[in-house]
Amino acid sequence: MAMMPGIAACCVDATGITALSPCRTRAPPRRAAFFRRRMISAAAMTAPEKAEVLRSLDGWAETNLLPLLKPVERSWQPHDLLPDSSSPGFREAVDELRARAREIPDDYYVCLVGNMVTEEALPTYHAALNSFVGYDSPSSADAWARWSREWTAEENRHGDLLNRYLYLCGRVDLRRVEQTIHHLIAAGMRLAAGGCPYRGFIYTAFQERATAISHGNTARRAAALGDASLARVCGAIAGDERRHEAAYTRVVAELFRRTPDAAVRALGYMMRERILMPAHHMFDGRDAELFRHYAAVAHGLGVYTTADYAGLVEFFVERWGVAGLGYGLTGEGRRAQEYVCRLPERVRRMDARRLQTQTQPQRVPFSWVFDRQVELQL
C-alpha cells in the first residue's frame, strides 16, 4: 500500500451542497416495506455488529479473496528485479544501475522515496486490517486471518524492493529516509473510521486503487526517462496493488449487496471526513510540512493528481452501484448517496478554480535528496 497524495489537496467536505444529486433511483416495488425495515436495521448496526457481518463472510472470503493471492513459488521477490549480489558481475550491474539513476531528476526520486516510506509503514497497516474484523491471533486458520497474513507478506516485498533499489542507486540520503520511516511507524495513522470495519475496508479499497495508479505512473515515468529496469521495479509493485485493490473492492461490493444502507452511509462518512493518507504524519526531523511538499511534487509530476482522485471516486460509485441504490435507504443513506455521486464533478470544479488562481512555483529543499531544491506548486 502506498500513498495517494492528491487527496491531501482535493478532498472536500459537506458544506455547500444544496442541489439534488444527478443519481436516479428505481421506483420501489411492492416489497419495499420489507426492504425498508431491513435497511433501517442495517443502518443502526454498531461497529461490533458490522464486524460480525464480516466474520460471517468467512466462506465467501475463502472463495472470493484467497484466489487473488499468489503462491510463494510463483511470486516475484526483490532479488529477481535487482543486481544479484552473488554474481561475479554484481559490481558492473550496480555501476550500470547508478549510471541510469544519474539521468533521473530529483523530483522523480522525491516521489519514489515518498512511495517507499509509505510502503515501509506496513506494521501499522497490518494492525489496522486485523482490527477491522477483530482478529488478534497470529495463527488463526480462517479465511480472513489467512488473507491478512498473506496480503501482508505480499506487501512486505514492496518496501524491501524500493529500499534496496534506493540503497544501490546512490541518489538519496538514505539515513534521512530511514529516519522518516522511523518517525512514520512511531506516529501511526489516523484512519477516521471510528472503529467501523465498513469504513476501514472502504478506506483500504481507495488506498489500493490509488497505490496502483501511483506506482503505475512512476513506472511509466521511469520508462519515459529511459530506465526500463526501474520501470519494471515500479510495475511489479503496481501489479500487486491491482490484485489487492480487486480484493478489497469485492469486500465492499459484498457489503453493499447485503447491507446497502449501512455501506453507503459508511462511504459518505469517509468521503466527508477526508481520507487522510497513511503517510500524512511523515516527518524527516526537519520539514514539518513534508507530506504537503511531497504531495505537491507528486501532483506536479503527474504521479498522483486531483484528476486521478476524481476518477477514483467515480470508479467506486459505479463499481459499487451507488447511483442505483433506491428503495430501502434511510434519509441519511439517501443524503450519503447524493453527496458521493456528486463528489467527482465537484472535485473537478474545485481543481479548475485552483488552476486559475494558483501561485508561482517555488523551490523547496528535500532532505531525502541531500537538501537539493525541488520545484513545486502549493
Q: What is the pLDDT of residue 29?
A: 41
Residue 31 above 70 pLDDT?
no
Mean pLDDT of 270-295: 90
Q: Could you tell me the pLDDT band of residue 44, with boundaries at 50, 70 and 90? A: low
Any idea which of 120-124, 130-134, 306-310 has the lowest mean pLDDT? 130-134
Q: Is 154 annotated among the ligand-binding residues? A: no
Please answer whether residues 343 and 272 qualify as being in contact, where contact means their C-beta atoms are separated by less than 8 angstroms: no
Q: How far apart are CA 322 and CA 55, in angstroms?
A: 24
Which pLDDT value is given to residue 30? 39
Instruction: List the one residue out of 144, 128, 137 whose CA is nearest residue 56.
Output: 144
Length of the chain: 378
Burial 158-167 (b: 16+ CB within 10 A, else e): bbbbbbbbbe
Lowest-confidence segment of 61-65, 89-93, 192-196, 368-372 by average pLDDT: 192-196
Would 44 be classed as within a structural domain?
no
The enclosing H or E element of 361 equals: none
pLDDT in the model for residue 301 = 96
Q: What is the CATH number of the domain that holds 366?
A: 1.10.620.20
Q: Which three cell numbers stand for residue 22?
A: 444527478
Q: Is residue 107 part of a domain?
A: yes
Handedness of CA 327, 253, 268, 209 (dihedral sign): negative
Query: SS3 for 120?
Result: helix
280 known member of a binding site: no
**E-only strand ranges, the chain:** 362-366, 372-376
Count of structural domains within the chain = 1
* Model confidence, pTM: 0.87
154 in any annotated domain? yes
158 is in an annotated binding site: yes
Ligand-binding annotation for 126, yes or no, is no
Model pLDDT for residues 52-72, shown as the tens digit of each residue: 888 889 999 999 999 999 999
- Please list the active-site residues: 76, 119, 155, 158, 208, 211, 240-241, 244
The single-letter code of the amino acid at 355 is L
Dihedral sign computed on CA atoms, order 34, 40, 43, 44? negative
Give the mean pLDDT of 248-256.
Answer: 97
Whether 24 is in a domain gets the answer: no
Residue 18 has pLDDT above 60, yes or no: no
103 labeled binding residue: no
Show the domain range for 319: 54-376
More confident residue, 197 or 244: 244
CB 313 within 8 A of CB 343: yes
| Residue corresponding to grid cell 520539514 | 287
Is 31 among the domain residues? no
Alpha helices in 274-305, H assignment, sequence order: 290-301
Lowest mean pLDDT among 1-15, 167-181, 284-298: 1-15
Residue 241: how many CB atoms within 10 A of its CB? Answer: 24
| Contact between 297 and 8 (Cβ < 8 Å) | no
244 labeled binding residue: yes
- Is residue 26 in some structural domain? no
What helix, strand, coil percent values describe the chain, rounded to 5? 65, 5, 30
With a cut of 90, say whether residue 345 has pLDDT above it: yes
Q: Tell me the percentage of the chain whose pLDDT exceeds 70.
A: 87
- CA angle, 199 then 310 then 278, to 5°: 45
Distance (Å) of CA 157 to CA 120, 129, 320: 10, 18, 30
User: In this predicted structure, what is the pLDDT of residue 137?
Assistant: 67
